[in-house]
C-alpha cells in the first residue's frame, strides 16, 4: 500500500533548520506522527513529497519558507496592552496560543514596554527553510469515522463516540 488520500500514515521524522539544528524529533519523544493524508493535517509541501511512498521508505525533504510556515510578515509584530494577557509575569520569549482568524495562532512576547507588550504573531518557524528526514512506518485505509472527523482517531474509537464528541 502506498500513501494516497484517505489513508492514515504513521511516520517518524526529524525536523532541522537550515543550519542543521534539530528542532523536533519524534523518536526522541517516542511518539510517531499519525496523520490523515489529503486532509491538511501536515504541511502541504511535506504531504506532497510523501505521495506514493510506501511503508519502510525513508526520505529527506527540504521546504522553503513558502512551503512551510510562510515568510515573516513584520506587520504581525505589534504592541498590545498588558491586559491582553491573563499572566502578570510576562517575559520576552514566552509563547502563548490564542484563537486567530484562521484557527489557533502562537503569540511570542518580544519586549515589555511601559504601556504594553510587543508581540509577534508570526509562526515561530516563519521565514525558515526546514528539512524533514522521514521514515514511513505504517499506512492504512482511514475509517469512515476518521474521514468524517478529518484526522486519525485513537484506536478503538467507535462511530458513537465520534458523534458524542460532535455534540459537546
How far separated are the first and last CA of the chain, in Å rounded? 36
Verify that 59 and 12 share a domain, yes or no: yes
Could you tell me the pTM of the whole model?
0.80
Per-residue pLDDT reduced to its tens digit, 98-141: 887 777 888 999 999 988 999 999 999 999 999 999 999 999 99
CATH code of residue 61: 3.10.50.40
Is 41 contained in some domain?
yes
Verify that 60 and 98 share a domain, yes or no: no
Here the cell at position 143 is 475509517
Euclidean distance between CA atoms 49 and 31, whole angstroms: 21
Q: Is 162 exposed, middle or buried (0-12, 13-18, 19+ CB in 10 A)?
A: middle
Is 95 contained in some domain?
yes
Verify that 58 and 135 share a domain, yes or no: yes
pLDDT of residue 161: 56
Euclidean distance between CA atoms 118 and 126, whole angstroms: 18
Per residue of the chain (168 residues), give pLDDT as tens. Answer: 999 999 999 999 999 999 999 999 999 999 999 999 999 999 999 999 999 999 999 999 999 999 999 999 999 999 999 888 888 788 999 999 888 777 788 899 999 998 899 999 999 999 999 999 999 999 999 999 999 999 999 876 665 555 544 433
Verify that 140 and 64 share a domain, yes or no: yes
User: What are the angstrom distances between the C-alpha of 40 and each of 14, 35, 46, 110?
Assistant: 20, 9, 10, 30
Verify that 96 and 143 share a domain, yes or no: no
Q: Residue 100's domain spans which residues?
A: 74-120
Verify that 131 and 100 share a domain, yes or no: no
Is 37 contained in some domain?
yes
Q: What is the DSSP letter of 75?
A: G
CATH code of residue 113: 2.40.10.330
Verify that 135 and 64 share a domain, yes or no: yes
Verify that 87 and 111 share a domain, yes or no: yes
Euclidean distance between CA atoms 73 and 109, whole angstroms: 16
Is 166 contained in some domain?
no
Query: Residue 45 is inside which H or E element, if any?
Result: helix 44-50
Number of domains in the chain: 2
Amino acid at each position: 500500500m502506498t500513501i494516497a488520500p484517505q489513508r492514515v500514515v504513521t511516520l517518524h521524522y526529524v525536523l532541522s533548520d537550515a543550519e542543521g539544528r534539530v528542532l523536533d524529533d519524534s523518536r526522541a519523544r517516542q511518539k510517531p506522527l499519525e496523520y490523515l493524508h489529503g486532509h491538511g493535517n501536515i504541511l502541504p509541501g511535506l504531504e506532497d513529497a510523501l505521495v506514493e511512498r510506501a511503508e519502510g521508505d525513508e526520505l529527506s525533504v527540504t521546504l522553503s519558507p513558502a512551503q512551510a510556515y510562510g515568510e515573516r510578515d513584520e506587520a504581525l509584530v505589534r504592541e498590545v496592552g498588558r491586559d491582553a494577557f491573563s499572566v502578570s509575569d510576562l517575559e520576552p520569549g514566552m509563547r502563548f496560543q490564542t484563537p486567530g482568524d484562521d484557527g489557533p495562532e502562537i503569540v511570542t512576547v518580544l519586549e515589555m514596554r511601559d504601556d504594553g507588550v510587543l508581540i509577534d504573531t508570526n509562526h515561530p518557524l516563519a521565514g525558515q527553510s526546514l528539512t524533514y528526514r522521514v521514515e514511513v512506518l505504517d499506512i492504512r485505509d482511514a475509517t469512515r469515522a476518521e474521514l468524517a472527523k478529518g484526522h486519525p482517531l485513537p484506536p478503538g474509537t467507535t462511530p458513537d463516540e465520534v458523534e458524542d464528541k460532535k455534540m459537546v
